[in-house]
Amino acid sequence: MLPSTSETSSATRQTGGTKLARIVFDEATIARRVRELGRDITAAYPDGDLLVLGLLKGSFIFLSDLVRRIDRPLQVDFLVAASYGEHTVSSGNVRLVYDPETTLEGKHILLVEDIVDTGKTLNKLVALLRARRPTSLEICALLHKHVAEHLELEAKFVGLDAPTLFLVGYGLDHAENFRHLPYIASLT
Ligand code: IMP
Ligand code: MG
């Protein structure tokens, strides 16, 4: 789908002139799925008392839209794991550079991730979070490429099935660029 003329000039300004290959998910599609995910999560936690753990930086826009669609008492905290650097292929080297302040023991944890690709990041994090004995642990991913060979824990909530392309926008970056785009586009 190509942006209209006015969107094209805005898109060109937003990307600093870099041409993105194609808009894969537009704003309306993302907003509709986020609303639906919010409804599903609300139904899945009738008692609330949820700790929504956003994996930074990629989930920051998704998480902020998502929590406003969850109609339950909840708390928000973040994890920062570093992996890709400037590459577009997962290295599998996951480092935790910020650990949540909040105690996880005895809580319902919902780990919010931008995209599941090889699953290496999630596999490391799931092991780490399970060791802290939460009452429950589930994953909500905006995008899922469905290419992971092994997932310690499959995402219970998935927004959109993603093509096996490198995607940017709505939080997703390439070398820290393009996170602010309101849509999701493929880089090549
Ligand atoms: P995984 O460990 O291969 O599953 O990758 C997890 C992380 O890599 C995600 O949280 C993203 O930050 C990043 N990532 C994976 N695929 C993409 C992509 O297509 N675009 C941007 N970032 C990606
Ligand atoms: Mg990233």
Q: Mean pLDDT over residues 54-61, rounded?
A: 96
Q: Does some domain include residue 3?
A: no
Q: Mean pLDDT over residues 99-111, rounded?
A: 87
- What is the reported pLDDT for 5? 47
Q: Please give the distance, rounded to the nearest whole angstrom, from the Cα atom of residue 117 to the centre of ligand 1.
A: 5
- Using CA atoms, how far apart are residues 154 and 156, in angstroms rounded to an integer? 6
Range of the structural domain that residue 135 is part of: 48-81+96-163
Instruction: Catalogue the active-site residues.
Output: 117
- What is the reported pLDDT for 92? 57
pTM for this structure? 0.89
Q: Does some domain include residue 136?
A: yes
Q: Mean pLDDT over residues 18-34, rounded?
A: 94
Q: Does some domain include residue 75?
A: yes
Q: Does some domain include residue 100?
A: yes
Name the β-bridge partners of 56: 80
Q: Please give the distance, rounded to the nearest whole angstrom, from the Cα atom of residue 87 to the centre of ligand 2.
A: 9
Q: Does some domain include residue 106?
A: yes
Report which protein residue has its CA nearest ligand 1's atom 16.
Answer: 117
Pocket lined around ligand 1, Cβ cut-off 6 Å: 58, 83-84, 90, 113-121, 166-168, 172
